[in-house]
């Protein structure tokens, strides 16, 4: 497998070591419109590879007949067109979440890609983590009976939260809304565990905290609160494109800092998901209620607890993680991509984004969204 990577931002760094999972895999091409960034990447990660091919236009990379697989790490709104161009050249595809940012592109992807015989693998790293693979196994083994409802949440630590106001994610037109950009892989977990079609979506949320404050200045380094503000970011992710010195209070943005999502699936099964930028630490927790018991997960602890409604003793599973990247999800995703089996999972990406976009519509218009009306092409 010869791989070309399109986009060399910070997320792309998760894939530069993909060659170690299979000796036949080679990264032979990199594409970015920013020559400065691409040269930094080559110097840091590919200094021993003098034959790496450099492209400024992804079309040129896709038309390279020596490249049979592509990894797409570009901004969210660019994904659909790159996917469509890649399948025309019969490439295997791994793409960062989400797959699209609007309904029209979702329908186009469904029509053009759903029957594609080669791999299209959305980067839903959470479903490939050891902890959520174990949860899925427990559900499939009928450990807690039939699922009744799921409660899930994600919290973002201060620096992580502020970063969304310091990059292109701050404008929902670029990403289809915060749920789509940040939490589409969380929604994917709900879809995977429940394994039914979503029928109705309702959502509430807004930006209460990160509002323009005239007492602040645009640059953190010029602010008299620099030494006490929890949003001052001294990180150095050199490929991220984030302006670390930008005050998140002073940014013009239309994304939320908290949101609640409620989904009704077929057979009356429900799920709720809450995301908040206001927490002492980043984490994900989930409670899955079934007819025979309850599964509780804590992502930061990498722990699963199963409590039974019968007299059966509770069970606790401590999950072993071989990599820190999304709790092992990055590693398992890479292994799946370079494996021998083709996996077209574009439908999972379409469904997750459809729910996120429906949530954005519900939030803005204060309505319950019928998924049959919103995305009739999947019903």
Which pLDDT value is given to residue 238? Answer: 66
Domain ranges of the chain: 2-124, 126-327+345-378
Which pLDDT value is given to residue 243? Answer: 86
Domains 2-124 and 126-327+345-378 share a fold: no
Which pLDDT value is given to residue 105? Answer: 98
Are 327 and 158 in contact, with CB atoms under 8 Å apart? Answer: no
Is it the case that residue 348 has pLDDT exceeding 90? yes
Q: How confident is the model at residue 322 (pLDDT cuts 50, 70, 90)?
A: low
pLDDT tens across 71-96, in order? 999 999 999 999 999 999 999 999 99
Which pLDDT value is given to residue 325? Answer: 77
Is it the case that residue 121 has pLDDT exceeding 80? yes
- Beta strand ranges found along the chain (DSSP E): 2-6, 26-31, 53-55, 69-72, 92-95, 120-122, 147-157, 198-206, 258-265, 270-279, 283-290, 293-298, 303-308, 315-318, 369-370
Fold of 2-124: Rossmann fold (3.40.50)
For the domain bounded by 126-327+345-378, which CATH number is listed? 3.30.360.10
Is it the case that residue 103 has pLDDT exceeding 90? yes
Q: How confident is the model at residue 41 (pLDDT cuts 50, 70, 90)?
A: very high
Is it the case that residue 234 has pLDDT exceeding 90? no
Q: Are strands 283-290 and 293-298 parallel, antiparallel or unpaired?
A: antiparallel
Taking all residues of the chain, what is their mean pLDDT, rounded to a whole number?
Answer: 94
Which pLDDT value is given to residue 120? Answer: 98
Number of H helices, E strands in the chain: 10, 15
Q: How confident is the model at residue 206 (pLDDT cuts 50, 70, 90)?
A: very high
> What are residue 70's DSSP bridge partners?
4, 93
**Torsion sign, CA atoms 184, 190, 195, 197:** negative
Q: How confident is the model at residue 356 (pLDDT cuts 50, 70, 90)?
A: very high
């Amino acid at each position: 497998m010869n791989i070309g990577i399109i986009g060399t931002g910070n997320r792309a760094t998760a894939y530069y070591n993909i060659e170690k999972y299979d000796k036949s895999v080679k990264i032979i091409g990199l594409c970015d419109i920013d020559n400065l960034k691409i040269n930094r990447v080559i110097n840091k990660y590919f200094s021993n590879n003098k034959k790496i091919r450099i492209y400024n236009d992804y079309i040129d990379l896709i038309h390279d007949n020596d490249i049979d697989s592509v990894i797409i790490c570009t901004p969210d709104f660019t994904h659909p067109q790159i996917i469509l161009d890649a399948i025309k050249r019969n490439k295997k595809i791994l793409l960062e979440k989400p797959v699209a940012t609007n309904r029209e592109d979702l329908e186009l992807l469904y029509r053009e890609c759903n029957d594609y015989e080669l791999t299209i693998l959305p980067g839903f790293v959470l479903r490939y983590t050891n902890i959520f693979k174990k949860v899925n196994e427990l559900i499939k083994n009928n450990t807690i009976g039939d699922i009744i409802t799921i409660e899930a949440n994600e919290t973002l630590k201060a620096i992580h939260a502020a970063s969304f106001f310091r990059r292109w994610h701050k404008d929902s037109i670029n990403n289809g809304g915060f749920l789509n950009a940040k939490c589409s892989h969380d929604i994917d977990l709900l879809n995977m565990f429940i394994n039914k079609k979503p029928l109705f979506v309702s959502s509430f949320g807004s930006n209460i905290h990160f509002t323009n404050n005239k007492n602040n200045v645009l640059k953190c380094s010029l602010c008299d609160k620099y030494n006490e503000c929890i949003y001052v970011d001294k990180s150095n992710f050199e490929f991220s494109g984030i302006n670390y010195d930008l005050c998140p209070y002073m940014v013009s943005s239309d994304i939320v800092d908290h949101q609640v999502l409620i989904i009704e699936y077929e057979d009356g099964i429900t799920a709720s998901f809450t995301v908040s930028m206001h927490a002492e630490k980043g984490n994900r927790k989930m409670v899955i209620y079934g007819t025979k018991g309850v599964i509780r997960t804590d992502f930061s602890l990498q722990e699963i607890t199963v409590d039974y409604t019968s007299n059966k003793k509770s069970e606790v599973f401590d999950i072993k993680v071989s990599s820190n990247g999304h709790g092992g999800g990055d590693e398992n995703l890479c292994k799946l991509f370079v494996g021998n089996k083709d996996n077209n999972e574009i439908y999972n990406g379409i469904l997750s984004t459809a729910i996120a976009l429906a949530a954005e519509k519900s939030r803005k218009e204060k309505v319950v969204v019928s998924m049959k009306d919103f995305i009739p092409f999947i019903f």
